[in-house]
Amino acid sequence: MATKDERLKRSIKKASQKFDRVRIERRGDKLSLRATLPPKPGEDKPKQRYLPTGKPVNEAGLKLAISMAMRLEAELIESRFEWKNWDKKIAKVNEPKTVGDWVNELIQRKSAQVNEATLKREYISPLSRLPQGEPLTEMLCKELIEQITKPKSRSRLRYVTAYIQLLQSAGLPQSLRNLLPVGGVVSGRINPDELPNDEQIFEVWNQIKNPGYKILFSRMAVYGLRPHESFKCQISKNKDEPFCKVDDDTKTGSHIAFPWPFDWYEIMEPWSDFVPHLKVERAVWSKYDNERLGNILSTWFLRNKKTVPFTAYMLRHRYACRLAENSIPTGRAASWMGHDISIHTKVYEQALGLQGELEAWRHAQGKS
């Protein structure tokens, strides 16, 4: 059986193989990055050098070193490497922090909160597009977002979210939320015939034994919440005002939803606080980002597919169809679901179209 030191050595080697220009190596009791780097001030040729990470030789230190290696590789590939961002001796003591300084701090912090794939996609990728040597300003971020992303695109949502966090970490005022896709990004159309019916949903809810997941399930079923929103909401216990307020730090920001059907609100009691019956305690998951929270539920649905033969998002889609079937105005339904009316109409076009035809038929029948 391999020793702990041997396993760590293999992990370091495996991590290095992910990169083309950067290697992670152990030097004493710390991890370093090795790469061919541009010449330092006063030099004329690139050299292969070591950059100390300051991270210890253990699993936690390796994770942080990997995030630094990702950033170094991106800077080398895009010819954005600057010594002042990596060598404290070269950086002037009184020089204001640059974009690169703030980016490095944010990535370091996020590397301990999200997995490697999320870190690269949601933070390193958009943050590395900023000019690393310039002072950080809201205008710099805003101009880049508008230049390289399209409205209502997933990339627009990703860039705005990352840049808001960057500006907040620097203590700078920002109004980038105005650039967020109104109501979210455009998704594919939903076929109502492929969704579970209400009887199936209620039967599945009845069979769920885990109290924590049962409450999360009820919130998605009753209010049409996105999976991560079921963690981040406040639900009124007042039956005369049974609204659900979704928190601001969710995919499309704060919005109000109402239960449909109302009897599910009374039976399922989605307002209940969850007791810690999830495998991850509240003190831990409350620090997770929206994607990771959504993945907790998606994974649970997948692992319990014999009991729950549909996905988490199908509860949201069925809620939308239920609103259409009960003639809730499209604009109101879109508002309850936290997205733009144009997106609502496009995604649920088939359900809305069928309802429109039924209403026309009923109207004609009433006149005959």
Nearest partner of 16 among 3, 29, 30, 35, judged by Cα? 35
Per-residue burial over 221-259, b if 16 or more Cβ lie within 10 Å, else e, is bbbbbbbbbbbbbebeeeeeebebebeeebbbeebebbb
2 and 117 in a single domain? The answer is no
Residue 236 inside a domain? The answer is yes
Q: Quote the tokens at residue 46.
A: 């690139």
pTM of the model: 0.51
Residue 69 inside a domain? The answer is yes
What secondary structure does DSSP assign to 12-35, as a single string?
A: HHHHHTT-SS-EEEEETTEEEEEE
Express each pLDDT in 179-233 by its tens digit: 875 555 445 556 677 788 999 999 999 999 888 889 999 999 999 998 989 988 8
279 and 319 in a single domain? The answer is yes
85 and 141 in a single domain? The answer is no
57 and 73 in a single domain? The answer is yes
Of the three residues 150, 181, 212, the one that is the final residue of a domain is 181
- CATH number assigned to the domain comprising residue 340: 1.10.443.10
Q: Which domain holds residue 263?
A: 192-367
Q: How many domains does the chain have?
A: 3
358 and 232 in a single domain? The answer is yes
Express each pLDDT in 49-100 by its tens digit: 999 999 999 999 999 999 999 999 999 998 899 888 888 777 654 467 899 9
200 and 175 in a single domain? The answer is no
30 and 85 in a single domain? The answer is yes
Which amino acid, one-letter code, is at 34? R
For residue 335, pLDDT over 90 is answered with no
Of the three residues 56, 90, 124, the one that is the final residue of a domain is 90
96: Cβ–Cβ under 8 A, 6 or more apart, which residues?
Answer: 135
208 and 251 in a single domain? The answer is yes
Residue 187 inside a domain? The answer is no
